[in-house]
């Protein structure tokens, strides 16, 4: 008699991709009004390209949301072809509309002067874990505050490296472990369910980049504190962003008034001068795609150089 194979139960801290897609699909219409932090972090990531010697012809924005950073990249590199990608179809549609409006203005005002390309960016609805592009296609892959919704970063890292050209740059932001620590602690005192996603430490992210085969990874971090008028304002803001509880261990059904009251009571203890702080640990990373070290079937590549006779 053979015993049944052992299967590890899912980690309750993992996110449910279907729940993530539903949340961001619902939030497409409300996202921009609540996305002050997301816009700021995206702008800071774009500004870091100032010190990079790169003239990309093809750019991919992974987790483009409503297209704020995608539009900035298109404006910064007017000769490049930009592709925005998002898991939620309504988000990709909102980004397409933003870029259509921006491109129309650009064509009227600047394109005749600069003589830049007139094609609009393309938008794709797809998963970062399985990029729908065959072979190498991009010189720059950009991703701002999207990778925290992936359970295993090694998968999108491998996909990004696959579609990058040799010498191409991968630049991104994600959230670190201290993100929403106030909310996590408040819910921990209310019940035994998971309510805040698990965030990966900056050093572990760097190790994953190296393991994925990227060269010269650079990681750094900053803490940003956003203040809210009340615990309810914080929760409404997260809902408007689509950043609701998508963990597999989330409570099912409606959240009882008693539990919410306990959570709000814990958060109220943190209010100072009418402001409730919410911590965000923002992790920045960039790395390059170097020359391959192995063949597709895993054999090492040995490069030989013949010196010219003197």
Give one DSSP letter per residue of the chain, joined into a string: -PPPPP-PPPPTTSB-HHHHHHHHHHGGGTHHHH-HHHHHHHHHHHHGGGGS----SEEEEET-TTSHHHHHHHHHSTTSEEEEEESSHHHHHHHHHHHHHHHHHHHHHTHHHH----PPPEEEE--TTS----S--EEEEEEES-GGG-S-THHHHHHHHHHEEEEEEEEEEEE-TTTTHHHHHHHHTT-SS--S-----HHHHHHHHHHTTEEEEEEEEEEEEEEESSHHHHHHHHHHHT----BTTPPPSPPPHHHHHHHHHHHHTT-BTTBEEEEEEEEEEEEEE---SB-TTSPBP----PPPP-
Is residue 220 scored above 80 in pLDDT? yes
Mean predicted lDDT score pLDDT of the chain: 88
**CA–CA distance, 248 with 230 (Å, rounded to integer):** 27
Q: Domains of the chain (ranges plus CATH)?
A: 17-175+198-222+282-289 (3.40.50.150)
Cβ atoms of residues 218 and 291 within 8 Å: no
- Residue that is written with structure tokens 């698990």 in the block: 198
In whole angstroms, how far apart are CA 253 and each of 13, 232, 256? 18, 19, 9
pLDDT digits (tens, 9 = 90+) for 117-166: 545 679 999 999 999 999 899 999 999 999 999 999 999 999 999 999 99
Q: Using only C-alpha atoms, what is the Rg of the chain?
A: 22
- What's the token pair of residue 15? 């996110």
- pLDDT at residue number 302: 42
In this predicted structure, the answer to whether residue 104 has a pLDDT above a threshold of 90 is: no
Instruction: Let me know how long the chain is.
Output: 310
pLDDT of residue 106: 47
**163, HSE (Cβ side, Cα atoms, 13 Å):** 24
- Which pLDDT score, from 0 to 100, does residue 307 have? 52
CB 208 within 8 A of CB 261: no
**Best CA proximity match to 289, nearest among 132, 157, 174, 172:** 157
Contact of 61 with 83, CB cutoff 8 Å: yes
The reported pTM is 0.87
Determine the average pLDDT of the residues in 74-90. 96
What sign has the CA pseudo-torsion 261, 267, 271, 274? negative
How high is the pLDDT of residue 300? Answer: 52
Angle at 236 between CA 231 and CA 43, to 5 degrees: 105
Q: What is the pLDDT of residue 118?
A: 47
Q: What is the pLDDT of residue 114?
A: 46
Confidence of residue 175 (pLDDT cuts 50, 70, 90): very high
pLDDT, tens digit, 9 for 90 and up, residues 16-26: 999 999 999 99
């Amino acid at each position: 008699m053979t015993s049944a194979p052992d299967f590890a139960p899912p980690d309750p801290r993992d996110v449910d991709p279907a729940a993530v897609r539903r949340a961001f699909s619902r939030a497409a219409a409300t996202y921009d009004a609540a996305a002050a932090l997301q816009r700021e972090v995206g702008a800071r990531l774009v500004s870091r390209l100032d010190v990079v010697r790169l003239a990309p012809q093809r750019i991919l924005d992974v987790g483009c949301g409503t297209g704020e950073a995608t539009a900035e990249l298109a404006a910064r590199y007017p000769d490049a072809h930009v592709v925005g990608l998002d898991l939620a179809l309504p988000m990709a549609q909102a980004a397409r509309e933003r870029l259509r409006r921006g491109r129309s203005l650009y064509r009227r005002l600047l394109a005749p002067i600069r003589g830049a390309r007139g094609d609009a960016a393309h938008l794709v609805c797809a998963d970062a874990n399985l990029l729908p592009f065959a072979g190498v296609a991009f010189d720059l892959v950009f991703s701002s505050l999207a990778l925290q919704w992936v359970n295993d970063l090694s998968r999108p890292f491998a996909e990004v490296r696959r579609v990058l050209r040799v010498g191409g740059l991968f630049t991104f932001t994600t959230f670190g472990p201290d993100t929403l620590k106030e909310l996590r602690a408040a819910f921990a005192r209310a019940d035994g369910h998971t309510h805040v996603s698990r965030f990966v430490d900056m050093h572990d992210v760097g190790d994953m980049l190296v393991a994925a085969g990227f060269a010269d990874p650079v990681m750094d971090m900053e803490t940003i504190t956003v203040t809210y008028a009340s615990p309810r304002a914080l929760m409404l803001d997260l809902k408007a962003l689509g950043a609701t509880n998508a963990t597999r261990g989330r409570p099912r059904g409606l959240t009882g008034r008693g539990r919410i009251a306990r959570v709000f009571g814990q958060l109220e203890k943190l209010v100072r001068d009418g402001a409730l702080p919410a911590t965000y640990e923002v992790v920045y990373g960039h790395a390059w795609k170097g020359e391959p070290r192995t063949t597709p079937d895993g054999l090492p590549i040995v490069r030989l150089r013949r010196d010219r006779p003197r």
